């Protein structure tokens, strides 16, 4: 094994171009487990800890450019207002020690259907900035990033530079089912974001299909129902039958498996429950801010 | 490969380190610092917790090569670390500027040093049974009291949620951290 230690982003890209089989290591919270248990014996480890750019974030007009290695702890501490869904999801990851090391770049690299960043990114809307020495930068829409079980859209010579996450324009929620609070890989998880600017609702589902997915049919149904009923303008309570059908469609959009953490049937049921709850929570909060701003006007 | 870094305030060098080796292995097997425990090697138990540039991490999940040039504090250096923090606090200086307190004791291995307030509190509260989880808990609890001098029970549970104990049922551990926080408050 060789340990490659690039001191800059350019050096990291050059090293990845020269050794496409090199395994990048950021927080190491996925990679080191595999090495410790001899599940993986890479020829090259490509250490990203020295690449300072990957630990920075910029808050722009419409989105946050989040460096690939920014640890979850920093997202929780500094980006709660801009990225509430991702901050909530970050808080559910493992333990403080893991959140101090692991980040979204590693979560995307592993692309596990159980990764907690994915539902939040899908719901918020995001693009993954990837780069190679040969072809430069491309932006991969988050909906196209997950290509299979633990597979993603990265080419062998590419590295993730950052994730561009849309800044919240409305309330966001993240909900996760597990056996206890800390240190739990999701049985299944659900992210939901209201986007009042575009009058749309977006979702993200974890651990209920081979890849993280959006519940597209459920979103379409809800967006149409909210528009037709004039809900965005009136801010009235969502009709229970609408919420119920949204939940049913979310459950139907899953393609879960039975495994040690839960059965397919349980997962489908839980996704429906989380869909209804996160919709209720975010909508209540949307109504609250509307009344507050009207009161102030 | 060779890895050079600082452990408990002292420059260290480890030779013939395998590229896939963890920081935990280097500390225990190459530098003679067995305080950090190896229980799971998968980030689940926290018994290998150390401070890496001040931040609590599982040393079993840090690749040895990643610590090149960086600063590590293990449970062996905890008493010295706490003493320097107290001295810095008293003089209003920041931690790195504070002079290292030294007697005949060894700040590196911890031998002969007095216990840190958190360590003493764990003993006084009876928070140690088999002791395997203790080093990791001490490092995590000490960091909590550094960043949150008056933690709520919720803060303590959260800060220690990555550290498993099979023996105590955690109540005595909670007592110990409360005790250390109270004593720290009195001392100021
Ligand atoms: C005890 C424990 C509990 C956990 N609990 C959770 C949990 O609750 N939720 C959850 O989502 N995850 C959990 N994880 C998994 C892990 O912590 C996350 O997936 C984390 O986001 C990985 O980030 P990292 O920086 O540590 O990744 P690393 O281990 O460094 O890398 C992970 C993968 O991404 C690749 N990679 C990293 N950075 C880049 C880059 N810039 N470009 C291209 N590829 C890259 C690596 O090559 C590797 O394949 C847990 C892990 C442990 C050990
Ligand atoms: S040995 Fe590192 S967390 Fe268990
Ligand atoms: S005292 Fe035995 S594991 Fe905690």
Residue B135 lies in a domain: yes
In angstroms, the CA A190 to CA B138 distance is 35
Yes or no, beta carbons of B63 and A25 under 8 Å apart: yes
Q: What is the CATH number of the domain that holds A278?
A: 3.30.390.50
DSSP string for B48-88: TEEEETTEEEEGGGSBGGGGTT-EEE-GGGHHHHHHHHHHH
Name which of B4, B57, B58, B61 to mutate to probe chain A: the one with the most chain A Cβ atoms within 10 A of its Cβ: B61
Residue B90 lies in a domain: no
Ligand 3 atom with the smallest distance to the CA of B127 is 1
pLDDT per residue as tens digits for the range B120-168: 999 999 999 999 999 999 999 999 999 999 999 999 999 999 999 999 9
Of A140, A166, A192, the position where a domain reaches its end is: A166
Nearest residue to A37 via CA among B20, B81, B10: B20
Together in a domain, A115 and A207:
no
Show residues of chain A in contact with B18, CB under 8 Å. 1
Together in a domain, B70 and B8:
yes
Q: What is the CATH number of the domain that holds B26?
A: 3.10.20.30
pLDDT per residue as tens digits for the range A123-155: 999 999 999 999 999 999 999 999 999 999 999
Assess whether the C-beta atom of A94 lies below 6 angstroms from ligand 1. yes
Together in a domain, A199 and A149:
no
Return the structure tokens found at A29.
Answer: 């919270």
What is the enclosing helix (H) or strand (E) of A177? strand A172-177
Nearest residue to A202 via CA among A182, A230, A173: A173
Strand pairing category for A146-148 and A126-132: unpaired
Distance from CA of A28 to the nearest CA of B (A): 6
Together in a domain, A196 and A132:
no
Assess whether the C-beta atom of B44 lies below 6 angstroms from ligand 2. yes
Mutate to test the pocket of ligand 3, among B167, B169, B176 (most ligand atoms within 8 A of CB): B167
- Calculate how far, in angstroms, residue B44's C-alpha sits from the geometric centre of ligand 2: 6
Of B27, B54, B75, the position where a domain reaches its end is: B75
Q: What is the CATH number of the domain that holds B159?
A: 1.10.150.120
Host domain of residue A98 = 2-166
Ligand 2 atom with the smallest distance to the CA of B43 is 3
Together in a domain, B164 and B113:
yes
Confidence label for A259 from pLDDT (cuts 50, 70 and 90): confident
The partner residue sitting opposite B19, judged by closest CB among A45, A96, A101, is A45
pLDDT per residue as tens digits for the range A157-212: 999 999 999 999 999 999 999 877 777 788 899 999 999 999 999 999 999 999 99
Residue B57 lies in a domain: yes
pLDDT per residue as tens digits for the range B84-113: 999 988 776 655 544 444 445 777 887 777
A261's CB contacts (< 8 A; 6+ apart) are A185, A187, A207
Yes or no, beta carbons of A183 and B55 under 8 Å apart: no
The answer to whether A95 faces chain B, any CB pair under 8 Å, is yes
Contact between A19 and A8 under an 8 Å Cβ cutoff? The reply is no
Strand pairing category for B55-58 and B49-52: antiparallel
The number of domains in chain A is 2
Residue B132 lies in a domain: yes
Of A138, A166, A194, the position where a domain reaches its end is: A166
pTM: 0.95
Together in a domain, B112 and B68:
no
Name which of A2, A32, A90 to mutate to probe chain B: the one with the most chain B Cβ atoms within 10 A of its Cβ: A32
Together in a domain, A136 and A228:
no
Looking at residue B110, its pLDDT comes to 79
Together in a domain, A10 and A124:
yes
Nearest residue to A159 via CA among A142, A136, A141: A136
Show residues of chain B in contact with A31, CB under 8 Å. 63
To the nearest 10°, the Cα dihedral for B141, B173, B135, A3?
Answer: -60
Host domain of residue B22 = 3-75
Residue B126 lies in a domain: yes
The number of domains in chain B is 2
Place of tokens 């939040």: A120
Together in a domain, A137 and A245:
no
Q: Helix crossing, B78-91 with B134-147: angle to 10°?
A: 10
Longest dimension (CA), chain B: 48
């Amino acid at each position: 094994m060789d340990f490659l230690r690039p001191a800059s982003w350019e050096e990291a890209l050059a090293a990845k171009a020269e050794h496409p089989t090199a395994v990048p290591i950021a927080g190491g919270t996925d990679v080191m487990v595999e090495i410790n248990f001899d599940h993986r014996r890479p020829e090259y480890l490509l250490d990203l800890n020295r690449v300072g750019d990957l630990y920075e974030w910029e808050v722009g007009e419409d989105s946050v450019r989040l460096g690939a290695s920014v640890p979850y702890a920093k997202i929780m501490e500094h980006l709660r207002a801009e990225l509430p869904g991702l901050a909530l999801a970050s808080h559910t990851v493992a333990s403080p020690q893991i959140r101090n090391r692991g980040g979204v770049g590693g979560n995307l690299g592993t692309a596990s259907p159980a990764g907690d960043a994915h539902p939040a990114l899908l719901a918020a809307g995001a693009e993954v900035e990837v780069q190679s020495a040969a072809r430069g930068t491309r932006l991969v829409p988050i909906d196209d990033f997950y290509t299979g079980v633990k597979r993603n859209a990265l080419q062998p010579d590419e590295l993730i530079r950052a994730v561009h996450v849309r800044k919240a324009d409305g309330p966001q929620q993240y909900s996760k089912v597990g056996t206890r609070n800390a240190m739990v890989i999701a049985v299944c998880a659900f992210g939901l974001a209201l986007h009042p600017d575009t009058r749309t609702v977006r979702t993200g589902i974890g651990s209920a299909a081979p890849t993280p997915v959006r519940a597209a049919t459920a979103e379409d149904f809800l967006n149409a129902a909210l528009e037709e009923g004039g809900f965005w303008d009136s801010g009235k309570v969502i009709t229970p039958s609408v919420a119920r059908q949204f939940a049913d469609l979310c459950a139907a959009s899953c393609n879960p498996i039975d495994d040690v953490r839960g059965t397919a049937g349980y997962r489908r049921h839980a996704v429906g429950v989380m869909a209804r709850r996160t919709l209720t929570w975010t909508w209540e909060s949307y109504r609250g801010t509307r009344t507050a701003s009207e009161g102030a006007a | 490969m060779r890895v050079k870094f600082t452990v408990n305030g002292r420059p260290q060098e480890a030779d013939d380190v395998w590229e896939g080796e963890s920081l935990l292995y280097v500390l225990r097997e190459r530098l003679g610092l067995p305080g950090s425990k190896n229980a799971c090697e998968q980030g689940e138990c926290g018994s290998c917790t150390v401070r890496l540039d001040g931040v609590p991490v599982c040393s079993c999940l840090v690749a040895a090569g990643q610590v090149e040039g960086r600063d590590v504090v293990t449970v062996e250096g905890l008493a010295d670390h706490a003493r320097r923090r107290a001295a810095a606090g008293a003089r209003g200086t920041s931690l790195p500027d504070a002079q290292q307190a030294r007697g005949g004791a060894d700040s590196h291995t911890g031998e002969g040093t007095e216990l840190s307030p958190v360590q003493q509190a764990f003993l006084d509260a009876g928070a140690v049974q088999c002791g395997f989880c203790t080093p990791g808990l001490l490092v995590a609890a000490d960091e909590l009291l550094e960043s949150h001098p008056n933690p709520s029970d919720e803060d303590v549970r959260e800060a220690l949620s990555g550290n498993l104990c099979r023996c105590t049922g955690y109540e005595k551990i909670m007592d110990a951290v409360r005790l250390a926080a109270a004593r720290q408050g009195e001392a100021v």
